[in-house]
Amino acid sequence: MNHDLNLPLPGLAPDAPPPRLLLVDDQPANIHALHQAFLGSGWQMLMATQGAQAVALCRERRPDLVLLDLFLADLDGYAVCAQLKADPATRDIPVIFVTAYEDAQCEMRALEAGAVDFIVKPFHPGVVRARVRLHLSLKLQADQLRHQALVDGLTGVYNRRHFDERFQQEWRRAQREGSTLALLLADADHFKRFNDRHGHQAGDECLRRVAQQLHAGLRRPADLIARWGGEEFACILPCTTAEGALYLARALEEGVRALAIAHPDAPHGVMTISLGLAAASPKPGHDGVELFKRADAQLYRAKSLGRARACAEGFN
Ligand SMILES: Nc1nc2c(ncn2[C@@H]2O[C@H](COP(=O)(O)OP(=O)(O)OP(=O)(O)O)[C@@H](O)[C@H]2O)c(=O)[nH]1
């Protein structure tokens, strides 16, 4: 039993899945020896005997850490590490080299290629575990910080900064692919009155529930919701026409209404939202500002028609 593996891993949330390690070595016996070092950890082990296979596994399965042999039959470890560091999807995965070459030049090259550590074979299993634990916990803590930077602290949906970035990406993608992108703006109705009657804490709780309901109501993996500010939310709906977005917006409105959050000072007696949306097939040289203006005008129309509804251009 490796007792050090039973210690809590700093940075690993209690409900998080177990960490995933990728072991890369052209000799199955070496993979077996590394694997033995982590027996009893409950961690997930992935294995590769070739460099290209290791890179592909990193892209597909996103391990939390890679233990990488220096000499492989196809790509050498430096090339594997450099490829991982060059790809935004894999660059944050820490790489530890494990090699029989106790040579300062090799170690320098490994660190220059982006490795976080260098272990010489034959290794002591306890030392490998200690180093892996250290780099794994640093990586998990960095993951948490990266995640917090994208998320709105109150509601748990994405924040406006992340929304702006993703909107630009989706806008460019729609330009390239000639597809239609819809933008949906949603605003809680008479929210000032809700705060005034129930207090800000209850207002915050209400916003959390509305945000989670909106999030749960999005149907496609590429759809994204963010808190746009205050009591307003924005959704990006890639590959969606105005008609499709209106269908979704109506379902979102019904979903929030069905939460039945008591709001005695609002016409329906419960919290409702108003939504405005617009869709565009972006042309080269156009930015998304106009789309925001058009969605905002429809939100204004929904408010002025009595709230608790969704409006889109060309639809009553
Ligand atoms: N509790 C809480 N209130 C917030 C938060 N952000 C914004 N608000 C409040 O939301 C209210 C928005 O008020 P208004 O913009 O007048 O809109 P409204 O009362 O919702 O009225 P309509 O939008 O016209 O239906 C203000 O009282 C803000 O203080 C927040 O994070 N928590």
Place 1 in a pLDDT band, splitting at 50, 70 and 90: low
Per-residue pLDDT of 80-113, as tens digits, reads 999 999 999 999 999 999 999 888 999 999 999 9
> 11: domain CATH number?
3.40.50.2300
ipTM of the assembly?
0.93
Mean predicted confidence (pLDDT) in 190-210? 97
Single out the residue in 92, 116, 149 at which a domain terminates: 149
Q: What residues flank ligand 1, with Cβ below 6 Å?
A: 154, 187-193, 195, 200, 203-204, 207, 230-231, 303, 307
Place 40 in a pLDDT band, splitting at 50, 70 and 90: confident
Higher-scoring residue by pLDDT: 204, 316: 204
Single out the residue in 149, 177, 195 at which a domain terminates: 149
pLDDT of residue 2: 65
How does the average pLDDT of the chain come out, rounded?
A: 94
User: Are 120 and 164 members of one domain?
Assistant: no
Residue nearest to atom 26 of ligand 1 (CA): 192
User: Are 203 and 307 members of one domain?
Assistant: yes
Query: What's the predicted TM-score (pTM) here?
Result: 0.78
Relative to the CA of 200, which ligand 1 atom is closest? 1
User: Are 203 and 145 members of one domain?
Assistant: no
pLDDT of residue 90: 97
User: Are 128 and 194 members of one domain?
Assistant: no
Domain that residue 305 falls in: 160-312
Residue nearest to atom 12 of ligand 1 (CA): 192
Higher-scoring residue by pLDDT: 10, 167: 167
As for how many domains the chain has, the answer is 2
pLDDT of residue 41 exceeding 90, the answer is no
User: Are 115 and 180 members of one domain?
Assistant: no
3-state secondary structure the chain: CCHHHHCCCCCCCCCCCCCEEEEECCCHHHHHHHHHHCCCCCCEEEEECCHHHHHHHHHHHCCCEEEEECCCCCCCHHHHHHHHHHCCCCCCCCEEEEECCCCHHHHHHHHHCCCCEEEECCCCHHHHHHHHHHHHHHHHHHHHHHHHHHECCCCCCECHHHHHHHHHHHHHHHHHHCCCEEEEEEEECCHHHHHHHHCHHHHHHHHHHHHHHHHHHCCCCCCEEEEEECCEEEEEECCCCHHHHHHHHHHHHHHHHHCCCECCCCCCCECCEEEEEEEECCCCCCCCHHHHHHHHHHHHHHHHCCCCCEEECCCC
Single out the residue in 98, 128, 149 at which a domain terminates: 149
